[in-house]
């Protein structure tokens, strides 16, 4: 059984015992091809609404965010290359287990407050990945996080920043993207632009909704 990037069964293949080894290799190629992925290869900032053990053993799929081998930078031949990850919350199903939050540079304070420290610490130590439990720099609001993260993305002006915003690393069928991606998106046959340019919808306190609520 091979699943696609939407966590759905994409192919069911019956294989004779004598063909299993060769056919498994072919199906593995398909499985890797169908893994969930971000639509662009680089990002200055990636906002993630939620992480959790029900999403991935590392809270977020490291293949999706480009942090499979190193915590805070993509490997030389690894994509995407994301400069800054911001964690906005934890899933209910993870029950405070924030394993993998240490891969992010920033977080909302509400995400930090939701952490079950002993559980997260034990999980990361047992898995041999102590840094996965480290606490990112955090602020109460999205506006504050962006105010401090945008100026440190390098020589790019904040208005030209490449920002992507996803619900979680399993749910990347639709991705909110900044205007910096628009020209490339228009040339891509594999992408569909489903909304007009719009400002980030901060509330009066400077907090964003979840991606899932943008269309409601």
What pTM was estimated for this model as a whole?
0.88
Q: Which of 97, 88, 86 is nearest to 52 (CA)?
A: 97
Percent of the chain with pLDDT over 70: 90
Q: Is the pLDDT of residue 192 over 80?
A: yes
For residue 137, what pLDDT is reported?
A: 99
161: tokens are: 């920043």
> What is the mean pLDDT of the segment spanning 83-93?
98
Query: Considering only 6-15, 46-55, 84-93, 154-163, which range has the smallest mean pLDDT?
Result: 6-15
Looking up tokens 């015992």, which residue turns up? Answer: 17
Classify residue 18 as exposed, middle or buried by CB count within 10 Å of its CB (0-12, 13-18, 19+).
exposed
pLDDT in tens, 90-126: 999 999 999 999 999 999 999 999 999 999 999 999 9
């Amino acid at each position: 059984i091979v699943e696609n990037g939407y966590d759905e069964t994409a192919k069911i293949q019956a294989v004779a015992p004598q063909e299993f080894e060769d056919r498994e290799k072919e199906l593995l190629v398909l499985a890797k091809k169908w893994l969930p992925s971000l639509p662009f290869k680089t990002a200055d900032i990636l906002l993630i609404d939620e992480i959790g053990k029900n999403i991935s053993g590392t809270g977020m799929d490291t293949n999706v965010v480009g942090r499979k081998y190193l915590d805070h930078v993509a490997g030389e031949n690894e994509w995407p290359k994301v400069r800054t990850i911001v964690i906005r919350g934890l899933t209910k199903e993870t029950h405070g287990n924030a394993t993998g939050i240490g891969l992010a540079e920033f977080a909302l304070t509400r995400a930090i407050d939701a952490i079950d420290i002993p559980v997260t610490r034990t999980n990361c130590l047992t898995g041999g990945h102590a840094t996965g439990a480290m606490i990112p720099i955090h602020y109460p609001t999205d506006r504050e996080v962006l105010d401090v993260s945008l100026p440190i993305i390098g020589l790019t002006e904040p208005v030209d920043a490449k920002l992507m915003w996803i619900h979680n690393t399993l749910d990347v069928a639709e991705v909110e993207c900044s205007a910096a991606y628009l020209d490339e998106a228009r040339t891509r046959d594999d992408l569909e632009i489903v909304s007009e340019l719009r400002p980030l919808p901060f509330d009066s306190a400077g907090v964003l909704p979840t991606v899932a609520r943008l269309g409601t």
